[in-house]
Amino acid sequence: MDLDLTDDQRALQALCRDFAKKDILPHRDEWNTTGRFPVEVFRKMADLGLMGLLVPEEYGGTGVGAVAYVAAMEEIAKADQSVASTWNAHLTIGSLPLLYFGTEEQKRRWLVPLARGERLGAFGLTEPEAGSDARAIRTTARRDGDGWVIDGTKMFTTNAGTEISQGVILLAVSGTRADGGKEYSAFMVPRGTPGFDVGRLIPKIGWHAVDTRELIFRECRVPGDHLIGQAGVGLRQFMQALAIGRISVAALSLGLAQACLEVSIEYARQRRQFDRPISTFQAIQFKLADMATAVENARLIVFKAAWLHDRGRPFAKEAAMAKLYASDTAMHAALEAVQIHGGYGYTDEFVVSRFFRDAKILQIGEGTNEIQRLVIARLLGC
Amino acid sequence: MKILVLAKQVPDTATQVKISSNPRAIETAGVTWIVSPYDEFALEEALRIKEKRQGTEVVAVSLGPDRVKETIRSCLAMGADRAIHLNDPAWADADTLTTARALAAVIKQEAPDLVLTGRQAIDDDMGAVTAQVAEILGWPCASWIMEEAIADDGKTVRAGRQVEGGLEIFDLPLPAVLSAQKGLNEPRYPTLKGIMGAKKKEIRDVKAGDLGLAAEPPQLSLLTLEALPPRPPGRVIPGEVKEAVRELVKALREEAKVV
């Protein structure tokens, strides 16, 4: 058993820590206050080779593996959740369906620009009336000569409306099976395709600098070569892409939990009440000790899931556990961080108030924590 | 053109330094090690020269134990072509002069056109090695440089060094030794490709014997490290403002002796 990162993994982690310190921390307040999408950050990350971490070199990426990626994500996520969640969506669900299921031609055409960071990837599954119940999607793709015509609406899509967005990989109902069940297929819809309207930015509790939108498709025609993978098995494909996405969101959560812990320790050591630092009170010490223990536990399960992935072993159960546990840990750590900061923690002057706002979505996105429990139970044989 | 960059491994600036049970050393457990920031400016400058002058080779040199390999790999990841690691128990207690002798011996072997390093390492802040290396080699030296330009013929370098309120501009014949001040440049990040490529680059391990150097006791021997005494608490002067101010001025004059 070896819990150490390799030299390369540590070097990537150090690079991300350094990048976060110099290029994220000084600007994060501005992005989150104005809600501006910081395109320049992703251009710089592209120059450093950070936009294709899970894509092999032959398709423009760096293929460092999930363990290295998780180590890198923790550093970026510690600095800013908006940047980190944009990065997360791009690297996993926004790019990997093309890698897993795309044809050689599709990989050259769409995956390479994503992995090089010239374009940002997006993934559209959720709809106004289909969240956890993915089978209930209503967006349809109808065969029309050589191509397909897409109609419907996607909700809460990340990364589809920025100036460097490539478009969206979406799931649609593409037909009916012999037994009457629905068939699902995945499609690439490039930005600018007639009939594809990028809706307005959706205001949110947190993740203020993330491009989150509703996407509307009306008689949107795409050629036959925009079908990704096989017709009819799109749902299964999407579920596969979500499994690694869960490890990624777990790492995103881990970074936030760690950040909550670090700022809380720092604050508790400085803040004086009753003539001594509040870190000397057992009430605060127990909070910090519990937070630190949970964060360390979260780290272990997140890295374990990533390690299983890199070994080519089954990892879906651990990925679900990691996502469930790390996001609950992040939410709880954010709650306690605000409590330790007292009234100041409720103000915009202290970063914990932002951590608090950013934490909640982690229990919801990429499969709610209730769905994670269902996934785990199913893999336990229930 | 060949450039040697002397880089030292130091604890990260964010480290809370503690004295270990051995009072002559700091606690190194849990310390994150980095390339001393001034040395990073030196390496960045060398890489910029390389980008401007075709055929330039940049060699990173570092002295220290096995853990220094990580620092060396950072230099290679940033873009140095190869590296030399001076690693020998004989140098475990090296003072600046011993260090400078070892570095100078390597520099003689390599015969570069230029040696670049930081104005001081940020751990002990001694700042002596640059001058000692130049002295041993008998080469010209400019320290705390803010800018440099190598002549087209590669025979001289023009260096601007920081002085109170301005720059002092020198021409130095090459080979020469320059030390970098903050502001010389903004160091690049290593790219991920650079990180992965660093493994394939050569790191030459050098022992004291390889340089014909015998073990020598340090001339500057460290006796002990002492923590700073805790700051005495401040004093609040209570009472009416008028009297309190009078008392404050009296204390500043008679106790603190600052006015």
A7–B196 CB contact, under 8 Å: no
In angstroms, rounded to a whole number, what is the distance separating the alpha carbons of residues A80 and A78? 6
Nearest C-alpha in A relative to B67:
A7
Whether the pLDDT of residue A41 is over 90: the answer is yes
Looking at the DSSP bridge assignments, the partners of residue B57 are: B2
Give the residue from A156, A172, A8, A14 showing the smallest Cα distance to A89: A156
In angstroms, rounded to a whole number, what is the distance separating the alpha carbons of residues B127 and A167? 55
* Residue A174 to chain B, least CA–CA distance (Å): 40
Average pLDDT (A239-259) is 93
Interface of B with A in 199-228 (CB under 8 A): 199
In angstroms, rounded to a whole number, what is the distance separating the alpha carbons of residues B15 and B19? 12
Residue owning tokens 């369906």 = A97
B192–A7 CB contact, under 8 Å: no
Interface of A with B in 200-219 (CB under 8 A): none
The mean of the pLDDT values for chain B is 93
pLDDT of residue B171: 96
pLDDT for B194-237, tens place per residue? Answer: 999 998 999 999 999 999 988 788 888 888 998 888 888 888 88
Average pLDDT (A342-348) is 96
Residue of B23 and A348 predicted with greater confidence: A348
What domains are there in chain A, each with its CATH number? 7-115 (1.10.540.10), 123-232 (2.40.110.10), 236-379 (1.20.140.10)
A19–B189 CB contact, under 8 Å: yes
pLDDT for A116-125, tens place per residue? Answer: 999 999 999 9
Whether the pLDDT of residue A325 is over 90: the answer is yes
Classify residue B5 by burial, with Cβ atoms within 10 Å: 0-12, 13-18, 19+: buried
Residue A46 near chain B (CB below 8 Å): no
Average pLDDT (A131-153) is 94
Sign of CA dihedral A147, A152, A156, A162: positive
**How many CB atoms neighbour CB A212 within 10 A?**
21
pLDDT band at A272; cut points 50, 70, 90: very high
pLDDT of residue B218: 83
Percentage of chain B exceeding pLDDT 90: 74
pLDDT band at B107; cut points 50, 70, 90: very high
Strand boundaries in chain A, DSSP class E:
123-124, 140-144, 147-158, 167-176, 182-190, 196-201, 212-222, 227-228, 272-273, 276-277
ipTM of the complex: 0.76
Cβ-contact B38, B123 below 8 angstroms: no
What domains are there in chain B, each with its CATH number? 2-211 (3.40.50.620), 229-259 (no CATH)
Q: How far is CA A94 from CA A168, A188, A264, B78, in A?
A: 8, 11, 34, 30
**B188, B195, B199, best to mutate vs chain A, most A CBs in 10 Å:** B195
Cβ-contact A176, A212 below 8 angstroms: no
**Which residues of B are less than 8 Å from A75 in CB distance?**
none
A·B CB contacts under 8 A: 35
Active-site residue set of A: 366
pLDDT of residue A13: 95
What residue spans of A231-368 are helical by DSSP H?
A: 234-270, 282-310, 316-345, 351-359
pLDDT of residue B17: 83
**How many CB atoms neighbour CB B202 within 10 A?**
10
pLDDT band at B30; cut points 50, 70, 90: confident
**Which residues of A are less than 8 Å from B199 in CB distance?**
7-8
Residue B198 near chain A (CB below 8 Å): yes
Cβ-contact A222, A189 below 8 angstroms: yes
A64–B193 CB contact, under 8 Å: no
pLDDT of residue B205: 97
Cβ-contact A106, A225 below 8 angstroms: yes
Helix (H) or strand (E) segment spanning residue B129 = helix B129-137
Give the nearest partner residue to A12 out of B70, B195, B199, using CB atoms. Answer: B195
Q: pTM value?
A: 0.86
pLDDT for A97-107, tens place per residue? Answer: 999 999 999 99
Looking at the DSSP bridge assignments, the partners of residue B19 are: B26
Looking at the DSSP bridge assignments, the partners of residue A216 are: A153, A197
Nearest C-alpha in B relative to A11:
B195
Interface of A with B in 53-82 (CB under 8 A): 53, 62, 64
Give the nearest partner residue to B195 out of A15, A19, A47, using CB atoms. Answer: A15
Give the residue from A381, A259, A366 showing the smallest Cα distance to A322: A366
**Which residues of A are less than 8 Å from B189 in CB distance?**
15, 18-19, 48
User: Which two three-digit tokens encode residue A74?
Assistant: 């923790």
**Which residues of B are less than 8 Å from A46 in CB distance?**
none
Give the relative orientation of helices B129-137 and B96-110 as an angle to the nearest 10 degrees: 50
Cβ-contact A115, A59 below 8 angstroms: yes
Whether the pLDDT of residue A280 is over 90: the answer is yes
**How many CB atoms neighbour CB B51 within 10 A?**
10
pLDDT of residue A234: 84
Amino acid at A225: D
Question: Which of A78-92, A225-239, B122-136, B193-207 is the least confident region?
Answer: A225-239
Give the nearest partner residue to B192 out of A7, A18, A50, using CB atoms. Answer: A50
User: Which two three-digit tokens encode residue A112?
Assistant: 């390479």
Residue B191 near chain A (CB below 8 Å): yes
